[in-house]
Amino acid sequence: MESWANVIMKKAFKHGSQNTIDQLKTIGRELSMGTQGNWLSSKEYLDLVKAIGEAKSKAEEESIVMAEIEHLKKRIMEPDVPRKKMKEYIIRLVYVEMLGHDASFGYIYAVKMTHDDNLLCKRSGYLATTLFLNEDHDLIILIVNTIQKDLKSDNYLVVCAALTAVCKLINEETIPAVLPQVVDLLGHPKEQVRKKAVMALHRFQQRSPSSMSHLLTKFRQILCDKDPSVMSAALCALFDLVSADVKGFKNLTASFVSILKQVAEHRLPRAYDYHRTPAPFIQIKLLKILALLGAGDKHASENMYSVLMDVIKRNEPGKGDPGSNITNAILYECICTITAIMANSKLLGLAAEITSRFLKSDSHNYKYMGIDALGRVIEINPDFAEEHQLSVIDCLEDQDDTLKRKTLDLLYKMTKSSNVEVIVDRMISYMRTLSDAHNKTEIATRIIELTERFAPSNQWFIQTMNQVFELAGDLVPVKVAHDLMRLLSKGAGEDDEEADSLLRSSAVESYLQLLAEPKLPSILLQVACWVLGEYGTVDGTHSADDIIGKLCDVAEAHPGDNVVKGYAITAITKICAFEIGAGREVELIPECRSFVDDLLASHSTDLQQRAYELQVFFGLGADLVRKVLPVNGSGEEIEFDRELPFLQEFVDSALANGARPYLDENERLGVDSGMSSFVSSSRSHHEPSHGLRFEAYETPTAAIPSGSAAAPSSLLPDFEESVTELTRSVRNQTDSSQVDLLGPEVARLRLDGVQRKWGRTSGSSQPSLAPTPASEQQRRDSGVSEGASSNKESSPAEPRHEIYSSSFEGKKVEREIPAEKQRLAASLFGGSSVQKGSSGGVKGGVKASKAAGNVRPGEKGVPPRPAAGSGKKKNWSAAEPKQASSSLMDLVDMSGDDSLPVHDAKASYDPFKELEGLLGVPSTAASSTSVGLGKSTMDFMSLYDSAPVVSQSASSLAGDSDVLSLSHRRSGGMDGANGVEGGLIDLNILPSLSPLAGLGELAQSSSSLSPSTGVSDKKGPSRQHSLQKDAASRQVGVTPTGANPALFQDLFG
Amino acid sequence: MILAALIMNTQGKPRITKFYDHVSVERQQEILRVVYSVLSSRSGNLCSFVEADDIFGPDTKLVYKHFATLYFVFVIDSAESELGILDLIQVFVETLDRCFKNVCELDIVYNFGKVHTILDEIVMGGQVVETSSAEVMKAVQDIWKLERVGELNPANIRGIGHYKNSRS
């Protein structure tokens, strides 16, 4: 070993100083080596390699390789290429492909070569195919037969070659073709073959566990193979199997322990020693398996104590000796096992001892392992960190990036409120050194998480966030910015107005400072604009003109960023409004004037609208402006009366003017809910559909009485406008009223309103400008919220609650240590000793509560909503287009023609019920829409397309509405999480005209449910799939499908 | 498992690339580029591990050793032992050295098939099959002997390949 290392070092000296080109000049010497074994050493190949090595530029290399490819293409296709030549061509192809060029034209020749009888050619063929092809390549099928034959060969080397190829080339479908042969090979007399067969089986197991399930016992049997190398191959497979199913392998614990004992005691032949350590790789694998088996199992763990002690004792180096790499590998594995199982204190002590040794080592590798081990040990014994604080800080300050990252990982795990400032500070300074987006995002996420969880003060929180925005910029999710704005607007949560305003003034100051810097990320500018708009003039230190000037500068400096511009103009609007509201005369400064003029002519309708809104304010009286945009209005909670009583008058007059009375959603079948209408129409297929009309419905727009406010086609915007006029505050209203319509959850809505206020000022702004509603929706739909969103959802008081609990924790211990490093250490590890119990508890508690917070929305899918929701909708829907309701009535009517008895209808309802929540995407349902019905719905859809807001809100209405509750009831609590008031049922059912109309409702309700629950309650794809299949087959059986419209029309048209 | 074994020289030229799960040619090139840029930016005597979650996904690491003009890189996931793989690289290089008598970069370039044979004896399907350099040598020499015989006289193939189990 020593001499070998010397040789390498000498070589390093010899070659390291020269570059490849120089090496190639000594080709004469190397040629003799290259020809050794008569392998790939044709002159042409050498020339190629030489030419590439000598290429002066990438382009030159490229042209050489291209020429080579052309050459090979020509030569390889010639008839009767001698096999030796062919083999060489293929090796050259492999080389060319390794350099990144396409060699696919030669794949087939590589496959052909595996058929060769000559082992050299066969192996070259296998080598090339394993490198060229993936297991799903079309050519694989040509190779399976050869592999099958070779697996049966009586030459074990051929068998080995085939087994090696099998690992790479066999996919799930071809496993059965070779599986029997491979299993037979487990009884092969050569241990090499058995070993490789085990490996191949393991590979199959990874690829397709299902096709291997009957062979699991085989792996256990192989464990008893008389050859240790075969047994060790089985350990690889067993490791995977055990990690997938610990319980099933508990009974093997004793066997693994006894194998480990024998290996450690040196009972294996000397040939298995590696640097005098008995079969270290087997020991490591066994330790890994034991860690899995012993986790959380006292009994299994106890069985391992003695063998672990033994292994450690045997591998522990003497005093002052760092130990060999491989013994340390085993020792590290022992630590992993000890910390994973329920170890006794003695073992834990040993683990701690080894960890200390690693941390104190000079080798970076051992330090790295030490930091990792420390992370494991302190999970069990937090005290332990204290002892090693200095080593940890050394690692943190090391120039080695890997070590630094690992140490930050460790610190992240041990962050508490007492050390959060130091740790986050470290993370931020580390983030400064990073350039790649991936790592930056990761560390930014961590900083944000820690900051949100442990922030000692709001001030610090804001500062930290600003730093994160500045460094990570657009890698930070928008949500984080919104959280920050919310924190500012809500203040400290209590009625401590003074502290709040202090906080805000300091925020204003810090952003004014920040804005002086060039090149800020968009997200930071957005926050800055918002803060300046909201609080810039509040404390009186800055004049409105100053702030407006700053805002104009920001907008000017970012001509391409419409979002920032939008934030800026809205901020200006607010400042002007505050001024007007305060009774002061406002004269826009010239640069602002021109900015506004620009926006008035902007291509972005959103910006245009914002600019126009600003103009409108100048024409309004101070009182009105004060009401519309009150100072510090963002923190205020807006109540929504879902009954919308103020609309009553409007509705009455509409009715008096001949508008149709309100019809419940279910009767409007498929009109109001964009997507669900589609679904429902496809559902109606299952309905007895004899009554379907096939002529197109009149387009709804045509039927709109232009003068009547009762039935505007762009229903929602108008509606919202009227709301805008009527409600007190414009800016919260516009968005949040929309949110209100969209989203049912009252508690969250308010927050949404606050958060999204800046997302868009207008209900009709384009979706592209509104990332927030989308994310909002997504969050609501999927029910997945990140760590912080639990704070957000409940109330702003919650983060503070955490802060308090943790600062309380922090108070317990403050240690004083001199020396600078020790001070750092103290700030990092400060409270560890006293806190250990409590910190674990609090941490766990927080985690648990977080988890609960996260799970809750997920379970519910659609959050429960107050019964008032339907009432509101009732009023609101009175303003639906007449046409919509009339066509709905048609749909209902046609089922009235139907002669099918009710119970039949019920039966046909059944499959939909099964389907609800299982249809993953609404479009799957939509795709099966029939032509006849699809046409009518298409009209409505196109209507919605032209008014995106309508369709958006409409589809979410379908998601949240009483429809859901109805079908929920009927489906026997299948989506049991959607708790809904029972009263709604009546609302839905009473208006039904007939049982069959009720049927129509059912169809719609079940279908309109699917888009919403489909997103929220994801069930197993296989079940969904099978149910879809089932539904499809029923459809085919019962009614003609959209795939055959002619037949459909012939029959019914 | 071992996701990939790579040998590249200090100028970033790939010498041997072996991916145990299929990776498209373009992606391979990208990976090689990224790995090279990471490795070349690390000075000596730093630790031999680089977390590679941005290249290969979560929980993956590069374990590498630098010999003369070559980097030997193994990409592993958390089921492998880092220090163990470091020794595996040692075994691999040791075997190459035995095989080529003072191995150098050129041997690997020209005998690329042989190197693959050796690697296949050590790692199979992403799992370590053999860790004894002597055993690997034996297996590889069997193959080469047979191949040479096959070259000269294909009829002799039968005779070889029925060696006695050499280890026990």
Q: Which chain B residue's Cα is nearest to A237?
A: B127
pLDDT category of residue A140 using cuts at 50, 70 and 90: confident
Taking the C-alpha atoms of residue A658 and residue A652, their distance in angstroms, rounded to an integer, is 10
Tokens 């199913």, residue located? A245
Residues in B closer than 8 angstroms to A195, CB to CB, are 129-130
pLDDT of residue A883: 43
Q: Using CB atoms and an 8 Å cut-off, which of residues 43-82 of chain A contact chain B?
A: 45-46, 49
Taking the C-alpha atoms of residue A882 and residue A1048, their distance in angstroms, rounded to an integer, is 29
pLDDT of residue A860: 40
Tokens 């090796």, residue located? A91
pLDDT category of residue A850 using cuts at 50, 70 and 90: very low
Q: What is the DSSP string of B53-83?
A: HHHH-TT-EEEEEEETTEEEEEEE-TTS-HH
Give the range among A52-61, A127-136, A701-710, A755-764 with minimum mean pLDDT.
A755-764
**Could you tell me which residues are beta bridge partners of residue A273?**
A278
Q: Using CB atoms and an 8 Å cut-off, which of residues 126-155 of chain B contact chain A?
A: 126-132, 134-135, 139, 142-144, 146-148, 150-151, 154
The Cα of B73 is separated from the nearest Cα of chain A by a number of Å equal to 15
**Could you tell me which residues are beta bridge partners of residue B63?**
B49, B74
What's the whole-number mean pLDDT along residues A384-403? 84
pLDDT at A662 over 50: yes
Whether A229 sits inside 8 A of B113 (CB atoms) is no
Give the range among A205-214, A743-752, B50-59 with minimum mean pLDDT.
A743-752
Q: Are B108 and B82 within 8 A, CB to CB?
A: no
Q: Using CB atoms and an 8 Å cut-off, which of residues 322-341 of chain A contact chain B?
A: 325-326, 328-329, 332-333
Q: Are A639 and A733 within 8 A, CB to CB?
A: no
Helix ranges (H only) for A582-714 are 590-600, 605-619, 622-628, 648-656, 674-683
Q: Which chain A residue's Cα is nearest to B65?
A: A365
Q: Which of A198, A114, A112, A195 is nearest to A148 (CA)?
A: A114
| DSSP code, position A815 | -
pLDDT, tens digit, 9 for 90 and up, residues A489-543:
776 555 567 777 778 888 888 888 888 887 788 888 888 888 888 888 877 778 8
pLDDT at A626 over 50: yes
Domain ranges of chain B: 2-167
Residues present in chain A in total:
1053
Q: Is A192 on the interface with B (CB under 8 A)?
A: yes
In the CATH hierarchy, which fold is given to the domain comprising B2-167? Beta-Lactamase (3.30.450)
pLDDT of residue A898: 42
Q: Are B133 and A56 within 8 A, CB to CB?
A: no
Model's pTM, two decimal places?
Answer: 0.62
Give the range among A13-17, A163-167, A464-468, A737-741 with minimum mean pLDDT.
A737-741
pLDDT at A132 over 80: yes
Report the mean per-residue pLDDT for chain A. 68
pLDDT, tens digit, 9 for 90 and up, residues A313-370:
998 887 777 788 899 999 999 999 999 999 888 999 999 999 999 998 888 999 999 9
Give the range among A221-230, A1000-1009, B23-32 with minimum mean pLDDT.
A1000-1009
Q: What is the DSSP string of A845-909?
A: HHHHHHHHHHHHHHHHSSPP--THHHHHHHHHHTTS-HHHHHHHHHHHHHHHT----HHHHHHHH
Radius of gyration of chain A from its Cα atoms, rounded to whole angstroms: 36
The Cα of B129 is separated from the nearest Cα of chain A by a number of Å equal to 6
Q: What is the DSSP string of B2-64?
A: EEEEEEEETTS-EEEEEESS---HHHHHHHHHHHHHHHHTS-TTS-SEEE-HHHH-TT-EEEE
What's the whole-number mean pLDDT along residues A772-794? 41
Q: Are A987 and A962 within 8 A, CB to CB?
A: yes
pLDDT at A413 over 80: yes
Tell me how far apart the 2 most distant CA atoms of chain B are, in Å: 54
Facing residue for A39 by CB, picked from B91, B111, B158: B111
Q: Which of A471, A493, A488, A477 is nearest to A445 (CA)?
A: A477
The Cα of B83 is separated from the nearest Cα of chain A by a number of Å equal to 5
3-state SS record for A87-119: HHHHHHHHHHHHCCCCCHHHHHHHHHHCCCCCH
Residues in B closer than 8 angstroms to A164, CB to CB, are 120, 124
**ipTM of this complex prediction, to 2 decimal places:** 0.90
Find all residues with CB under 8 Å of A746, minimum gap 6, and list them: A640, A865, A866
Tokens 């041990």, residue located? A414
pLDDT category of residue A697 using cuts at 50, 70 and 90: low
Residues in A closer than 8 angstroms to B134, CB to CB, are 271
Residues in A closer than 8 angstroms to B29, CB to CB, are 100
Whether B29 sits inside 8 A of A100 (CB atoms) is yes
pLDDT at B9 over 80: yes
pLDDT category of residue A714 using cuts at 50, 70 and 90: very low
Q: Are A252 and A220 within 8 A, CB to CB?
A: yes
Q: Is A119 on the interface with B (CB under 8 A)?
A: yes
Find all residues with CB under 8 Å of A724, minimum gap 6, and list them: A730, A733, A734
pLDDT, tens digit, 9 for 90 and up, residues A89-100:
888 888 889 888
pLDDT of residue A766: 39
What's the whole-number mean pLDDT along residues A810-832? 55
pLDDT, tens digit, 9 for 90 and up, residues A989-1005:
333 333 444 344 444 44
The Cα of A561 is separated from the nearest Cα of chain B by a number of Å equal to 29
Please report how many Cα atoms fall inside a 13 Å half-sphere around the Cα of residue A43, on the Cβ side: 0
Q: Is A646 on the interface with B (CB under 8 A)?
A: no
pLDDT of residue A19: 47
Please report how many Cα atoms fall inside a 13 Å half-sphere around the Cα of residue A428, on the Cβ side: 19
What's the whole-number mean pLDDT along residues A598-609? 87
Q: Is B34 on the interface with A (CB under 8 A)?
A: no
What's the whole-number mean pLDDT along residues A565-580? 86
Q: Using CB atoms and an 8 Å cut-off, which of residues 203-262 of chain A contact chain B?
A: 203, 227, 229, 233, 236, 239-240, 243
Taking the C-alpha atoms of residue B66 and residue A326, their distance in angstroms, rounded to an integer, is 18
pLDDT of residue B163: 40
Residues in A closer than 8 angstroms to B154, CB to CB, are 117-118
**Could you tell me which residues are beta bridge partners of residue A29?**
none
pLDDT of residue B3: 93
Q: Higher model confidence: residue A152 or residue A872?
A: A152
Give the torsion through C-alpha atoms of A134, A140, A143, A144, to 10 deg: 110
CA distances (Å), A913 to each of A916, A1006, A1009, A1028, in order?
5, 6, 10, 12
Q: Number of CB pairs < 8 Å for A and B?
A: 254
What's the whole-number mean pLDDT along residues A773-799? 41
Q: Are A672 and A884 within 8 A, CB to CB?
A: yes
pLDDT category of residue A194 using cuts at 50, 70 and 90: very high
Q: Which chain B residue's Cα is nearest to A292?
A: B79
Q: Are A810 and A831 within 8 A, CB to CB?
A: yes
Q: Is B83 on the interface with A (CB under 8 A)?
A: yes
The two tokens of residue A419 are 């050390």
